[in-house]
Amino acid sequence: MPSGQLIDVAAANRAAFRRTALLYALAGDTLGVAAFVADLVPPVVAQIVTPLVSSGTAWGLVALVVGYLAWSYRSAAVVGVAVLALSTVTYYALILFVSRRWTAGIQSWDVDSTGPVLAGLGSVARAMAFWLVASVGAGVVMGRLGQAVRRGTARLASVASGVAMGFLPGEGTYEIFQIVVLWGGPVNALHWSRLLLAGMQVSMAVVVVSVLTWRRRRDVSWWVFVVTAAASVVAGTTLWHVVDSVRMVM
**Alpha-carbon 93 to chain mean position:** 18
DSSP symbol at 221: -
Cα angle 250, 165, 141 (rounded to 5 degrees) comes to 60
Neighbour count for residue 198 (Cβ, 10 Å): 24
3-state SS assignment for residue 236: helix
**Tens digit of pLDDT at every position of the chain (250 positions):** 555 554 566 666 677 778 888 889 999 999 999 999 998 888 888 888 988 899 999 999 999 999 999 999 999 999 999 999 999 999 999 998 887 776 654 444 444 555 566 777 788 888 899 999 999 999 999 999 999 999 999 999 999 999 999 999 999 999 999 998 888 778 888 888 889 889 999 999 999 999 999 988 788 898 999 999 999 999 999 988 888 887 776 6
Q: How many residues does the chain have?
A: 250
Residue 181 near residue 191 (C-beta atoms within 8 A):
no
**Alpha-carbon 199 to chain mean position:** 17
| pTM of the full structure | 0.87
